[in-house]
């Protein structure tokens, strides 16, 4: 058995009629979420720098850029910029078991392909999302040990290739060749996460661009390596410490991974969300305030400690702060939540937030699950000697605790407003209510780019 062949066959041949309505709905919902997050990302730190770099590689073409009316780029450059914007504020959806953001790479690549190769229906785009997410997320779930490379960029690349291949109707042979070139292009280091550098969204941007390049090279007739996933030097062999394909391949066509994806209600690393919710509960249920708090401890699985347990420092970049639970806790205690406006220079240099963050500690528990986000517990010691607690057993935005329609739409509205595209919210939401029936899915991309 060649896992690449099994996944490619699934992605290319799964009939639209066999995709359950729940999977179709989730694909449309998270495309809507991703596009709005990408519009807000036009105002993210370094987004203008990324656009300038991409424009230096060539201008003109069919590629739209989210939140930037009038900007045109060649498809690969547009995919690069849009993917950066989609992940640049850590607000894009995530699949917790795979520890992977599936839509930034996949969504950016599909948007670029729609712009360059013709008009595609909403149903075809949704089918490509379901197929692509099944590929990237099954690669993440197949890993049985903690991640050591940045899966949204590495596994995400293969998902984007599969999605574009499904959209274009490529042959099995061409798609397998594209997977082989995806192996050659795959990259994404967790060192960027450890240091809190903007290289994280750049790696996702590179994966979206590389997906189109891999498809183009394969379509040009170049044969690629066929054991791209499990060969001696294949993707899983090199990028994961241990893996097991059998359980995930056995569920193809039965489990649709896009239905397991979680919204991000806050523009931070997903590993920080449980702490934010727990602090909100401490404030609401126990009256915890910035004045009466002496010390806060967030006891969580080792993955959480690894991803967001870093201390608040000065100077602190937006990328670092979004992955710093002590800073996120300080913002929540001060403002009640964490929003897009909490990562500007004034907030990041606020001495009051810094001092408050120094009262927050993240401690790893003994949870043996390498991808566990919960259960976790916040313990607050108050100045009057009391100790109060708030546990989190389910992540807000997860399939077990999904956002309501109103919450989803409010997040979309807030993202568009952040980029001064408030007027786009109502018509964009209306299009997504009937996205599956659209003859030209490009309508939503043009609207999200500010073109209509």
Give residue-wise pLDDT tens across range 307-353.
999 999 999 999 999 999 999 999 999 999 999 999 999 999 999 99
Query: Confidence band (pLDDT; 50, 70, 90) for 118?
Result: confident
- pLDDT of 64: 97
Cis peptide before 375 (omega within 30 of 0): yes
> Residue ranges of the domains in the chain?
3-265+407-448, 270-392
- Which spans in 41-99 are helix H? 47-56, 75-87
Give residue-wise pLDDT tens across range 270-281.
999 999 999 999
The backbone region for 389, taken as left when phi is positive above 0, alpha when psi lies in -120 to 50, beta otherwise, is beta
Give residue-wise pLDDT tens across range 211-231.
999 999 999 999 999 999 999
* Torsion sign (Cα): 162, 34, 322, 324: negative
Domain spanning 270-392: which CATH class is it, in words? alpha beta
311 burial level (CB within 10 Å; 0-12, 13-18, 19+): middle
Across all residues in the chain, what is the average pLDDT?
97
235 burial level (CB within 10 Å; 0-12, 13-18, 19+): buried
Q: What is the pTM of this model?
A: 0.96
User: Tokens 């990259």 — which residue?
Assistant: 187
- Whether the pLDDT of residue 435 is over 90: the answer is yes
The two tokens of residue 304 are 């959480």
Q: Taking the domain 3-265+407-448, which CATH number applies?
A: 1.10.4100.10
- pLDDT of 367: 96
Give residue-wise pLDDT tens across range 10-51.
999 999 999 999 999 999 999 999 999 999 999 999 999 999
Query: Confidence band (pLDDT; 50, 70, 90) for 59?
Result: confident
Give residue-wise pLDDT tens across range 245-263.
999 999 999 999 999 999 9
- pLDDT of 353: 97
């Amino acid at each position: 058995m060649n896992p690449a062949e099994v996944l490619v066959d699934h992605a290319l041949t799964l009939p639209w009629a066999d995709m359950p309505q729940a999977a179709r709905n989730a694909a449309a919902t998270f495309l809507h979420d991703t596009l709005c997050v990408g519009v807000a990302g036009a105002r993210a730190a370094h987004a203008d720098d990324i656009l300038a770099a991409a424009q230096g590689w060539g201008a003109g073409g069919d590629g739209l850029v989210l939140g930037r009316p009038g900007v045109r780029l060649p498809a690969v450059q547009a995919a690069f910029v849009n993917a950066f914007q989609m992940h640049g504020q850590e607000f894009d959806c995530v699949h917790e078991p795979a520890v992977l953001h599936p839509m930034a790479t996949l969504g950016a690549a599909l948007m670029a392909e729609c712009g360059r190769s013709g008009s595609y229906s909403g149903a075809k785009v949704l089918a490509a999302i379901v197929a692509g997410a099944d590929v990237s997320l099954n690669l993440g779930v197949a890993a049985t040990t903690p991640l050591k490379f940045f899966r949204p960029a590495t596994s995400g690349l293969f998902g984007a290739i599969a999605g574009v291949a499904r959209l274009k109707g490529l042959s099995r042979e061409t798609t397998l060749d594209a997977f082989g070139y995806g192996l050659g292009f795959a990259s994404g280091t967790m060192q960027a996460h450890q240091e809190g550098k903007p290289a994280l969204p750049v790696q996702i941007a590179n994966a979206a661009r590389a997906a189109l390049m891999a498809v183009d090279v394969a379509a040009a007739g170049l044969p690629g390596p066929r054991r791209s996933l499990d060969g001696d030097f294949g993707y899983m062999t090199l990028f994961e410490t241990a893996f097991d394909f059998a359980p995930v391949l056995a569920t193809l066509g039965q489990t649709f991974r896009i239905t397991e994806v979680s919204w991000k209600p806050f523009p931070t690393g997903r590993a920080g969300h449980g702490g934010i919710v727990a602090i909100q509960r401490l404030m609401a249920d126990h009256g915890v305030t910035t004045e009466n708090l002496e010390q806060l401890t967030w006891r969580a699985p080792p993955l959480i400690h690894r991803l967001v347990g870093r201390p608040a420092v000065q100077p602190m970049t937006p990328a670092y702060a979004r992955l710093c639970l002590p800073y996120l806790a300080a913002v929540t205690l001060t403002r009640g939540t964490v929003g897009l406006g909490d990562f500007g220079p004034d907030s990041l240099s606020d001495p009051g937030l810094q001092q408050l963050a120094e009262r927050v500690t993240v401690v790893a528990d003994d949870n043996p699950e390498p991808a566990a986000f919960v259960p976790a517990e916040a313990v607050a010691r108050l100045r009057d000697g009391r100790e109060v607690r708030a546990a989190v057993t389910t992540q807000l935005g997860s399939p077990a605790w999904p956002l309501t329609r109103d919450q989803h739409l409010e997040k979309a509205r807030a993202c568009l407003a952040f980029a001064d595209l408030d007027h786009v919210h109502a018509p964009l939401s209306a299009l997504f209510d009937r996205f599956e029936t659209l003859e030209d899915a490009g309508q939503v991309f043009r609207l999200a780019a500010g073109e209509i």
